[in-house]
Every structure is written in C-alpha cells, then in structure tokens.
Amino acid sequence: MKEKIKESAKKDCCVACGVETEYYDTTHIDARRFYIEGAGQLCKDCFEKIINEKRGKEEGRPTMRIVGIIGPYFSSGDRRSIDYNIANAQFIAIRIAEFFSDSKLIGFFCPHSHTARFEKLANAKEEYYHTLDDAIYDSACEIFVLLPGWEDSKGSVRDVKRAKERKRRFFLLKDYSVENIRFLLQGMERWARRKMEDERIELRNGGQ
C-alpha cells in the first residue's frame, strides 16, 4: 500500500520558477517549508526573494537588522572621558561586526564613532547631532544596546525614552567583560533568528 502511494506521488514544482522541489504533492502543507497558502509551493530561493520583497518592498534589500548603540558620550566633558566613551562604544560595534560577519544577521549604528570628535573637528551645534542620531535611530534601528553608564548620561536617557515610545527592544550590557559581551551577542542573534522565523510564519498564514 505504502509503495503504491510513493509510485503515484509526484514532486511539486516551484510555482514561481518551475524548479522541482523536495515535496511530494501528497505531503500535507503543515509538513512543508517554503509554502504560501493561496499561492503554493515555492523553492527556497524564490521564497526568500519574496520575503525580501515583502519586507523592503524592493528587490535585493539586505535582511540585516540594525542595532542602535546608546551610551554616554560626553560624561564629565574632558578629553579622556570622551575618548574612553568613544573607544567603548566602538569596541562593541567591532564585536558585533565580528560576531555577525558570516551570518550578516545584525549590523549597527554607533553614533559615538560615526561622529567621533566632531565636537572639535566640526563647527556645528550639538542639537544637529541629536537630530542626526534621532533620524538614523528611528528609521534604521529595531533594537538597541544600552552601554554601561547610560543612566548617568542625559543624552542616553533621552534616546532610551524616544526608543521606548517607539516600542523598540533593548539589550542591556552590564559591563565589558568577555562573558557579558558574548551573552549580549547571543541574545541579539536569538532575537534576529526568531524575527526571521516569525516573518516566515506570517507569510505562510498570509498575514500582513
């Protein structure tokens, strides 16, 4: 009996490009991946292309998600404090780049190194940088890392309030120990993978 089913079952082809998929036409849709109800079975490539299109409404938009780094910049305002804060923030940006170098799941926006030393190099008002950071944080950053000492930084408290109003998620870094940085990176990776999976399920159910 089992043999008979196997003989008569054909493999489904991708409804977009026509390539043969790994699924037999007898396989229940709950047991399939890359299937969209109302459309049909897709191959992995076409499925991912559609996810990208749905997310970015434009072909080829990277699936990388951006984390915003929030932490003290000026502190007591002397050169040593400012350079210390820039170095710490940049260190976390570097660790993110290294950790996600292959998967490309997460990228970052680090205002500290983006406009490092601009308070000396450029002749622009401080408010200009606040507006610049807001614009990038708001449009690009889905999650935020809070660096040690953020509570004592007026600018950071302001950034956190703004991100909270926009229902963004936070990851808190308690200190710069190797363990806590690894913990932070792994937490962000889990978040990014879950997000990706959620989008697949949404797509399968035809949700928005």
| Residue 181 near residue 173, CB atoms below 8 Å | yes
CB of 121 to Zn ion, least distance (A): 51
Binding site for Zn ion (CB under 5 A): 14, 16-17, 43, 46
Closer residue to Zn ion (CB): 16 or 66: 16
Residue 43 or 93: the one with the smaller Cβ distance to Zn ion is 43
Smallest distance from Zn ion to CB 43, Å: 3
Do 97 and 140 form a contact (C-beta atoms < 8 A)?
Answer: no
Report, in Å, the least distance between residue 21 CB and Zn ion.
8
Nearer to Zn ion, 22 or 138 (CB): 22
Rounded to the nearest whole angstrom, what is the least distance from the CB of residue 33 to Zn ion in the complex?
13
The bridge status of strand 40-41 relative to strand 35-36 is antiparallel
Give the number of residues written for the chain.
Answer: 208
Q: Which is nearer to Zn ion, 60 or 77 (CB)?
A: 60
Asked if 146 and 70 count as a contact pair (C-beta separation under 8 A), the reply is yes
Helices 178-204 & 79-99, crossing angle to 10 degrees?
50
DSSP 176: S
